[in-house]
């Protein structure tokens, strides 16, 4: 739980926020001593008319930090020998603007231009932030205390509320990538938050399905009905408590995939009550432990918070966390090859009911 919240500016003008569990923590005595260039320009959004989707082109991200040595990690606290992104010598949870953002609110949305008659282009207005879960470089989210998980959740609630209010933001997406198999380039325990200027393809598909279900059922929420059905069936439930259920979706795309959902229909993290936030931590930590026990090694995963959009269709959203791994066996990865990458048609290697059973037994 957040005790104090301190905002500072880094040397290039980016915002950094300390979320401390100590209510009297003082973070104003350490300033960024680096001489940094100004933040890069934002990305372009280019429209693909063949699939009705926007693609971000962010060429400046080619130069982002890639697997630095531990003593040069930009997410560790600063030391006398190395000035990192975090000026303080220690911290609880820190959020700051990404130095290499895919989307940025440092530009004014210009009028749309075009590459061809069919491909409009517009600035990638939005925001990208980095969330550091702990100052311990060698830790992991699964090793956090329930109290620290609550602090992280409160920080995500704070940032979701702030970023949702930015002009042009359509959806706020917090996530964590873990493991080099996923493509992680910084091993320090951290996540990110994207404030999208468009509704992403998966959310678009979910909204379409939700509207169709609501029209067919007199206004019922699709995710609420799916969750209720899974809880009644019980076959794919991995773990549950008073406020949350963790289950393997019946049509999982990934070998090991779990969704964690609150029992109450809420649109986003800020809408969670204090008891719901407290109850999330032990359940999620339990599921992460089960993931790591699958093959007796740290499992690479993506943890993705699905939140309601900020505009039309917000009432159709239902907050949930999607957790999945690309590992399908101790020595095998799930590669997104021809069918998945070219056609978006997934073929799962593990029966969801079997995956749920294995996870329950861990």
CB atoms within 10 A of CB 352: 21
The C-alpha angle with vertex 106 and arms to 157 and 195, in degrees rounded to 5, equals 30
* 76 carries a ligand binding annotation: yes
CA-based torsion, 231, 237, 241, 245: positive or negative: negative
Specify whether 190 is catalytic: yes
Which position among 138, 190, 263, 306 bears the catalytic label? Answer: 190
* Main-chain phi, psi angles of 52, to 5 degrees: 60, 50
Q: Which one, of 203, 77, 197, lies nearest residue 135 by Cα? A: 77
5 and 158 in contact (C-beta within 8 Å)? Answer: yes
What are all long-range contacts of 279-282, with beta carbons under 8 Å and residues at least 24 apart?
A: 279/241, 279/242, 279/243, 279/244, 280/149, 280/150, 280/153, 280/243, 280/244, 281/146, 281/147, 281/149, 281/150, 281/153, 282/146, 282/241
* 73 carries a ligand binding annotation: yes
* 137 carries a ligand binding annotation: yes
Task: Give the residue numbers annotated as catalytic, written as ranges.
Answer: 190
Q: Which residues are annotated as a binding site for Zn(2+)?
A: 73, 76, 137, 188
């Amino acid at each position: 739980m957040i005790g104090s919240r301190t905002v500072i500016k880094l040397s290039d003008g980016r915002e950094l926020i300390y979320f401390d569990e100590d209510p009297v923590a003082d973070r104003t005595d350490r300033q960024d001593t680096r001489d940094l260039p100004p933040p890069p320009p934002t990305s372009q959004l280019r429209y693909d008319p063949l699939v009705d989707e926007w693609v971000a082109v962010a060429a400046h991200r080619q130069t982002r930090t890639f697997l630095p040595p531990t003593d040069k990690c930009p997410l560790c606290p600063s030391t006398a020998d190395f000035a990192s992104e975090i000026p303080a010598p220690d911290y609880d949870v820190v959020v700051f603007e990404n130095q290499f953002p895919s989307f940025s609110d440092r530009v004014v949305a210009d009028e749309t231009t075009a590459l061809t008659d069919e491909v409009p282009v517009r600035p990638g207005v939005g925001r990208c932030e980095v969330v550091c879960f702990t100052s311990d470089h060698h830790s992991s989210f699964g090793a956090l205390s329930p109290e620290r998980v609550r602090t992280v959740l409160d920080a995500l609630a704070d940032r979701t509320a702030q970023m949702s209010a930015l002009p042009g933001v359509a959806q706020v997406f917090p996530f964590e990538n873990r493991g080099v198999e996923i493509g992680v380039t910084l091993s320090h325990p951290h996540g990110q938050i994207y404030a999208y200027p468009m509704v992403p393809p998966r959310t678009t598909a979910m909204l379409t399905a939700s509207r169709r279900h609501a029209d067919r059922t007199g206004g019922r929420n699709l995710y609420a009905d799916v969750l209720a059905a899974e809880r009644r069936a019980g076959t794919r439930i991995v773990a549950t408590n008073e406020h949350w259920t963790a289950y393997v979706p019946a049509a999982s795309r990934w070998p090991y995939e779990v969704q964690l959902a609150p029992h109450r229909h809420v649109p986003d993290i800020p809408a969670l009550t204090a008891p719901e936030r407290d109850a999330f931590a032990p359940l999620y930590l339990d599921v992460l432990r089960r993931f790591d026990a699958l093959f007796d090694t740290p499992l690479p995963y993506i943890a993705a918070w699905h939140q309601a959009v900020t505009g039309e269709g917000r009432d159709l959203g239902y907050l949930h966390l999607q957790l999945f791994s690309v590992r399908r066996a101790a020595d095998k990865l799930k590669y997104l090859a021809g069918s998945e990458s070219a056609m978006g048609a997934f073929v799962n290697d593990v029966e969801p009911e079997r995956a749920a059973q294995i996870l329950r037994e861990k």
